[in-house]
C-alpha cells in the first residue's frame, strides 16, 4: 500500500481513506466485494473543505487485508493537476 502524491494504491483493495486535520474532515469508504485498488484524491472536488496550503493534513488508509497507512501531507499535494 502506498500514497504517491494524490494517488492511493493497494493491491489488496482500498477500504477506507480519511483526511484529517485534527479530526476527520473527509472520508471515502468502499464496501463493495471488489474494492478499487487505486484512488485519486482531489482537494479541488472538496469545496466544503477549507485548508491553508501550509497546514498539514494527515491521510489514513486501510486496505482489505487490514493494513493501515498514516502519512502527513500538505494540501498542495492533493490537487488534481498533481499526478
Within-domain flag for 69: yes
Within-domain flag for 83: no
Within-domain flag for 41: yes
**Which is nearest to 70 in space by CA: 78, 79, 61?**
61
CATH number at residue 66: 2.60.40
CA 5 to chain centre: 10
pLDDT tens, residue order, the chain (83 aa): 898 878 999 999 999 999 998 899 889 999 999 999 999 988 777 666 666 666 788 999 999 999 999 999 877 777 665 44
Give me the domain span that covers residue 18. Answer: 2-78
- What's the CA gap between 44 and 68, in Å, rounded? 25
Q: What is the CA radius of gyration of the chain?
A: 12
Looking at the structure of the chain, the number of domains it has is 1
pLDDT value for 77: 74
The whole-model pTM stands at 0.82
pLDDT value for 54: 64
Amino acid at each position: 500500500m502506498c500514497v504517491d502524491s494524490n494517488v492511493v494504491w493497494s493491491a489488496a483493495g482500498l477500504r477506507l481513506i480519511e483526511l484529517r486535520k485534527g479530526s476527520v474532515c473527509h472520508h471515502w469508504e468502499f464496501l463493495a466485494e471488489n474494492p478499487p485498488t487505486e484512488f485519486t484524491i482531489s482537494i479541488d472536488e472538496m469545496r466544503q473543505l477549507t485548508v491553508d496550503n501550509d497546514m498539514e493534513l494527515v491521510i489514513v488508509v486501510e486496505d482489505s487485508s487490514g493494513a493501515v497507512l498514516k502519512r502527513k501531507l500538505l494540501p498542495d499535494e492533493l490537487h488534481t493537476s498533481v499526478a
